[in-house]
Amino acid sequence: MFLLLLNYILKLPHYTCHENQLYFLGKRFCIISDEAASLYQRLLYQLNYVKDYPEGIVDELIKTQAIMTCSLPEKHYSDAPLILVISPHLDDAIFSIGGLLTRLSSRYRIHILTFFSLDPYSIYKELKNDFFRLQELRLAEENAATSLIHSTTSQMEWNDALLRKYKDFSDPIHQNEPIKHYISCIIKELPDNPFLILCPLGISHVDHRLTRILADKVNKINSVSKTPIMYYEDLPYACSEFTEADSFKSFNINLSNYEKSLKKKMVKSYVTQLSPGLTSKILNHRDGQECLWYQDSFDNNKLIKDILGDSHWAYRK
């Protein structure tokens, strides 16, 4: 059970306001009342208490989609065990296991480490032509989404595959990838003594496959080698391009309505990435469940139960 705290307002970074005109990515979007404009301009691009503002004005801004409201799980203790989540890009962890991270965030500290965070992709043409503005927005989206689960984040700031001369996401990993350099940099960035590592399974996308290889190598040679490591299904790629591995076991994570609701809000924070139908595709995968995988040699059902709770997981061979 989650102890839900006071509602918050989250101001999304894609909108700005001048006088009583609201803009989306620099384009005129809609007219709002003077009171709503005044409130919007006072709001910070971070969590704000709903109770501090008039309900009717908040409702007006909610209808524009420039803000969202949410209730958050109880915040973890500062000395709680740390879960390290490794993400190929700025959105993969939330897309794939946002519901699970919602659950864990009230009992554990969450840190998301992103490898290939410099990414030229957006569904908006104007952002594709403004690389630096896109990177600002991508990072702002990540900070907005992860603030809902009290997560800290850091980025290696490596180039996405398209910027590393890959022609297609399905290409084999290039032989000239600087694996040793990557590993050296990752080890310097790792937080101390993680309780658990959650890593992408490495489905389809070359950056996801490379992230999985790097995480496994680092976990074998670094001082965290005894840290349990589990693998999350990469969404949205797992929806259509995944063949289950024989040497792995898995379990589905049955999300509560609250966990599904907060994951939806986090996913919808990544406005620059959400092509039509993508949100639904992510949220409806496995009928709304999430899935973790682990190797046969990983024999720790107690850890699984301790983290997820007996009533929220279903073992799958």
Residue 311 pLDDT: 44
pTM summary value? 0.92
Question: What gap in Å lies between CA 60 and CA 17, rounded to an integer?
Answer: 14
Place of tokens 């398209």: 162
Domain layout of the chain by residue ranges:
8-70, 82-316
Residue 298 pLDDT: 66
Alpha carbon of 122 to those of 40, 48, 204, 223, 270: distances in Å?
26, 28, 19, 37, 10
Coil, helix or strand at residue 138: helix
Q: Which two tokens stand for residue 134?
A: 């896109």
Question: What gap in Å lies between CA 313 and CA 311, rounded to an integer?
Answer: 6
Contact 194, 84 (CB under 8 A): yes
What is the torsion angle, in degrees rounded to the nearest 10, for the CA atoms of residue 6, residue 262, residue 287 and residue 139?
-170
pLDDT averaged over 10-residue windows placed end to end, the chain, 317 residues: 66 94 95 96 88 90 93 79 96 97 91 97 93 96 94 97 94 96 95 91 95 92 73 91 71 91 96 95 93 76 67 45
Q: Which two tokens stand for residue 184?
A: 């050296």
- Quick one: three-class SS letters along 197-221? EEEECCCCCHHHHHHHHHHHHHHHH
Q: CB under 8 Å to 285, separation ≥6 — which residues? A: 233, 235, 236, 238, 239
Number of residues that make up the chain: 317
22, β-bridge pairs: 17, 30
Question: What gap in Å lies between CA 213 and CA 202, rounded to an integer?
Answer: 8
Q: CB under 8 Å to 301, separation ≥6 — which residues? A: none
CA angle 264, 267, 272 (to 5 degrees): 140
Question: What fold, for 82-316?
Answer: Rossmann fold (3.40.50)
